[in-house]
A and B are shown apart, each in its own frame.
Chain A
Amino acid sequence: MLWLFGLLWPLLGIHPDGTLSFANAFTVWFYIFSATFLILVAVVFHKQGWLNWISHSSAAARARIAATYSRTPQWVWIAALALLAVVFPMFTGRYEQDVAINVLVYICLGLGLNIVIGLAGMLDLGYIAFYGVGAYTYALLSIHFGIPFWLCLPVAAFTACIAGCIIGYPTLRMRGDYLAIVTLGFGEIVRIILNNWMQLTNGPNGILGIKAPGIYFPSLADGFSIEHLYLKKLQFLYYVILLLAIFTILSVRRLNISRIGRAWEAIREDETAAELMGVNTYRLKLLAYAMGAVFAGMAGAFFAARVRFVSPESFTFLESATVLAMVVLGGMASIPGVILGALALIVLPELFREFELYRMLCLGGAMVVMMVFKPSGFIAAKRLGRRSEEREG
Chain B
Amino acid sequence: MSTEPILELRDVHTSYGNIKALKGISLSVYPGEIVSIIGANGAGKSTTLMSICGIIPLKQGEIYYNSQAIHGKAADLLPPMGLCQVPEGRRIFPRLSVEDNLEMGAFFRKDKVEIAKDQEHVFDLFPVLKDRRHQHGGTLSGGEQQMLAIGRALMSRPRLLLLDEPSLGLAPLIVQKIFEIINEINRNVGTTILLVEQNANIALQTAKRGYVLETGTIVMEDDAKSLLNNPEIRKAYLGEA
**Within 8 Å CB of A262, what residues of B?**
96, 100, 103-104, 107
A-B contact pairs, 9 of them (CB 8 A): A262-B96, A270-B91, A273-B93, A276-B91, A277-B152, A278-B76, A278-B107, A384-B97, A385-B97
Are B136 and A385 in touch, CB under 8 angstroms? Answer: yes
Given contacts A273-B91, A276-B85, A277-B79, contact A384 B108 (CB under 8 A): no
How far is B103's CA from A262's CA once the two chains are assembled, in angstroms? 9
Chain A residues positioned under 8 Å from B99 (CB to CB): 388
Determine if B80 and A273 form an interchain contact, defined as CB atoms under 8 angstroms apart.
Answer: no
Q: Known: A262-B96, A383-B95. Is A276-B84 also a contact (CB below 8 A)?
A: yes
List, in ascending order, chain A residues with CB within 8 A of B78's CB. Answer: 278
From 268 to 308 in chain A, residues with beta carbon under 8 angstroms from any chain B beta carbon are 269-270, 272-282
A107 within 8 A of B: no
CA separation between A279 and B109, bound complex, in Å? 11
* A270-B91, A273-B93, A278-B78 known; A384+B100 contact, CB < 8 A: yes
Residues of B contacting A263 in the complex (Cβ-Cβ under 8 angstroms): 104, 107
Interface string of B132-170 (1 = CB under 8 A from A): 011110000000000000001000100000000000000
* Docked-complex contact B96 and A273, CB < 8 angstroms: no
Report A139-166 CB contacts with B as 1/0, cut-off 8 Å: 0000000000000000000000000000
Q: Give every chain A residue within 8 A of B97 (Cβ-Cβ).
A: 384-385, 388
Interface centre among A273, A276, A389, A392 (most CB of B within 10 A): A276
What CA separation (Å) do A193 and B76 show in the bound complex? 38
Cβ contact within 8 Å between A259 and B107: yes
CB distance from B118 to the nearest CB of A (A): 14
Report Cα–Cα, A55/B97, bound state, in Å. Answer: 35
B79 touches A269 (CB 8 A): no
Contact A384 B96 (CB under 8 A): yes
Cα–Cα, bound, A269→B79 (Å) = 19
Chain B positions 84-102 with a Cβ under 8 Å from a chain A Cβ: 84-85, 87, 91-97, 99-100
**Contact (A278, B79) CB under 8 Å given A263-B107, A270-B91:** yes
Contacts of A259 in B (CB 8 A): 107
Q: Taking the complex as formed, is B210 at the interface, i.e. its CB lies under 8 A from any CB of chain A? A: no
Q: Is the CB of A281 within 8 A of B76?
A: yes
* In-complex Cβ contact of A280 among B55, B74, B93, B133 (8 A): B74
Asked if B105 CB lies within 8 Å of chain A CBs, one says yes
Bound complex: CA A280 to CA B91 (Å):
17
12 A-B pairs besides A263-B107, A265-B100 with CB distance below 8 A are A262-B103, A266-B107, A272-B91, A274-B104, A275-B76, A277-B84, A278-B77, A279-B76, A281-B76, A282-B74, A385-B135, A388-B133
